[in-house]
Amino acid sequence: MNIKNVIKNIFSNPTSFFFRNLGTKQIIAKNTFWLATAEAITRFLKFFLIIYVARILGATEYGKFTFALAFVALFAVFSDLGISTITTRELAKNKSKEKDFSAIFSLKLLLAIGTLTIICLGSFFITLEPEIRSIIWVLGIYIVISGFSEIIYAFFRARQKMEYEAWTKIIQALAVTGAGFFVLFNLPSVKNLSFAYLIASSVALIFILIFFNFKVSRLHFSFNRQIWKNILSLSWPLALAGVFGTVYNSIDSVMMGYWGQITQVGWYNAAYKIIGVTLIPAGLIGTSFFPLLSKRLKESKQEFQKIWHYYLEIMIFLAVPIVAGGVALAPKIINFVYGPKYSPATLAFQILIIMAGLIFLLIPFSQALVVSNQQKKLFLITMSGAIVNMFLNFILIPKYSLYGAAVATLITYFLVFLLYIGFTLRFTPIKRCNPKLIYTFLLAIISSTLMCLVIFFSVIYNLHVVYIVLLASLFYFFSFFIFQKVLNYFIK
C-alpha cells in the first residue's frame, strides 16, 4: 500500500482505515495516528499541569514532589519485570497464546503488591522527613496503579489495536489533570497533589479494566506457576535492564534529594519534563514499529531489515533538528514554560536535549535486540550504563549539582548508544549499513545548521518562542526535502 492509496483510503472509508488492520503501511499509519493523538493529548494535559505545579508550589516544593516520584520510580520496574513487553511480543507472534493472559494478569497483580511493600520499607531509609515519606507512600500506590494498565496495553499492542490504548490513556490523563488542577487552585500542597494523582488514577484503572473485560477479553485470575515461570524466563533480562535503566534515569534526582539539594531537584526535573515532551515522537514511532518488527522477523529477515532501516531513518530525521533547535532556544523555552525563577535549569536543559537525540537513535537498536530474543544483551548494556552513571553522579553532583547530573546522564547515554550499536550488529539480522541512513544524517545536519542560522536572525529570535519553533520546523522540513530531491537527482 503506497502513500497515495493510504490517503485515498482515509477519505473513502475512514472507519475501516482507523479501526481495521489493512496492510503494513496502513497499520503503521493507523497505530501512529492513534498513539500520536493519545500522547499529544495526555502529554499536553500532564505537562500543562506540571507547569502550574512548578509555578504555584515553587522550586523547593516541586523538588519534594519530584524527589519522591524519582525514588518511587526506582522500584516501579519491579511491578512489571519486563512482562508487558514480552507479552506484546509473544502474543503478536502467536495469537493462540492469548489464553495465557489471565495468568500473566494475575502475575502482574502479585508483582504490584510486592513492589508497593518494597517502596514503603525503602522510604524509611531515604529520608528523615515525615512529610516526604508520606508523599512517597501515596505516590508509590499511584505508580503501581498506573503501571498496572501497561499489561492491558500490551494486549492491545499485540493485536495492533492501539486505538483502544489511546482512548484509555486519554481518559486517565483527563482524570489526573482535572484532579490536579482542582487541588492546585483549592488546596495547594504537595501531599494533596499526590492524593489527587492517586485517586484519579484509581478511577481511570477501574474504567480500563471494565472496558477490557466486556469489550475485549474476559478477565479472571489464574495462578498458573508454569506460565509465570515461562514468561519470567523470557522477561528477566528485560527486568534487570529496566532496573538498571531506571537507575540512570532516576538516581540523580534521588541522590540530589538525599544530599539535601531539594531546590536543585526542582530545577533539574523542570528541564527533564520538557525533554520528555521532545521524546514523544520517539515513543509513538517505536510503539507502532515494535509489533510489526516482531511479526516481520518471523516471516522474512530481509523484510525485517528493510523496515528497521526505514525506522532508523525516521528517527535520524527527527533527532538532529530537535537537538540543534533545543540548544539554540533553551533560554527562551525555559523562560516561557516556567518563568525567570527557573533560569538555572537552562544549562541542564541544553545538556539533556543532546541526550534526547541519542535516545531517538538508540531506540531502534534496542527494539531490534528485543524482537531478536536478545534481551540478555539489554541487561548487559543497561547494567554498564547504571554503573557508569552512579559513579559519575557520585563525582559530579557534589561539585556541580544539577549540571553534574545532566553531564553524567549524557555520558551514560552515549556509552549505552555505542553498546547498542555493537550488540545489534553482532546479534541480530541487522548486518549492514544502508547508505540512505548516511545521506539522511548528513542532510539532517546541513538542514539543522541552516535552521539555527535562521533562528539567530534578530527578526526571528525576537519573536515569541512558539512562533520561532514553528518557523524553524517549517524551514527544516522544507530545506531537508529540497536537499533530498537534489541529492536523489544526482545519484540517479
Environment class of 99 (CB within 10 Å of its CB; exposed 0-12, middle 13-18, buried 19+) = exposed
pLDDT in tens, the chain (492 residues): 444 454 445 445 555 545 555 555 566 666 667 777 777 788 788 888 988 899 898 888 989 999 998 899 888 888 888 888 888 878 877 777 778 888 888 888 888 899 999 999 998 888 878 888 999 999 999 988 887 888 888 887 777 677 777 888 888 888 889 999 999 999 899 999 999 999 998 888 888 888 888 877 787 788 888 888 888 888 877 777 777 777 777 889 889 988 888 899 999 999 998 998 898 888 878 877 877 787 777 777 788 888 898 899 999 999 999 999 999 999 999 999 998 999 999 999 999 999 999 999 999 999 999 888 887 787 788 888 889 999 999 999 999 999 999 999 999 999 999 999 999 988 888 877 778 888 899 999 999 999 999 999 988 999 999 999 999 999 999 999 998 888 776 665
CA 210 vs. chain centroid, Å, equals 26
- Give the contacts of 29 (CB within 8 A, at least 6 positions apart): 6
CA distance 53 to 47: 10
Count the Cβ atoms, other than its own, within 10 Å of residue 401: 20
Residue with cell 489526573: 176
CA distance 409 to 76: 20
Instruction: State residue 277's pLDDT score.
Output: 86
Q: Which amino acid is at 31?
A: N
- Give the contacts of 161 (CB within 8 A, at least 6 positions apart): none
- CA nearest neighbour of 338 among 271, 287, 386, 399: 271
CA distance 420 to 364: 9
- What phi, psi does 260 have (nearest 5°)? 85, 10
C-alpha cell at 179: 484532579
Q: Where are the domains of the chain?
A: 3-432
C-alpha cell at 387: 554503573
C-alpha cell at 263: 531546590
CA distance 114 to 79: 7
Count the Cβ atoms, other than its own, within 10 Å of residue 474: 11
Instruction: State residue 118's pLDDT score.
Output: 92
Length of the chain: 492
Instruction: State residue 181's pLDDT score.
Output: 92
Q: What is the 3-state secondary structure (H, E, C) of the chain?
A: CCHHHHHHHHHHCHHHHHHCCCCHHHHHHHHHHHHHHHHHHHHHHHHHHHHHHHHHHHHHHHHHHHHHHHHHHHHHHHHCCCHHHHHHHHHHHCHHHHHHHHHHHHHHHHHHHHHHHHHHHHHHHHCCCHHHHHHHHHHHHHHHHHHHHHHHHHHHHHCCCHHHHHHHHHHHHHHHHHHHHHHHHHCCCHHHHHHHHHHHHHHHHHHHHHHHHHHHCCCCCCCCHHHHHHHHHHHHHHHHHHHHHHHHHHHHHHHHHHCCCHHHHHHHHHHHHHHHHHCHHHHHHHHHHHHHHHHHHHHCHHHHHHHHHHHHHHHHHHHHHHHHHHHHHHHHHHHHHHCHHHCCHHHHHHHHHHHHHHHHHHHHHHHHHHHCCCHHHHHHHHHHHHHHHHHHHHHHHHHHHHHHHHHHHHHHHHHHHHHHHHHHHHHCCCCCCCHHHHHHHHHHHHHHHHHHHHHCCHHHHCCCHHHHHHHHHHHHHHHHHHHHHHHHHHHC
- What phi, psi does 10 have (nearest 5°)? -60, -45
Environment class of 484 (CB within 10 Å of its CB; exposed 0-12, middle 13-18, buried 19+) = middle
CA distance 120 to 147: 17
CA distance 346 to 410: 15
CA 483 vs. chain centroid, Å, equals 31
Instruction: State residue 28's pLDDT score.
Output: 64
| Whether 475 contacts 328, CB under 8 Å | no
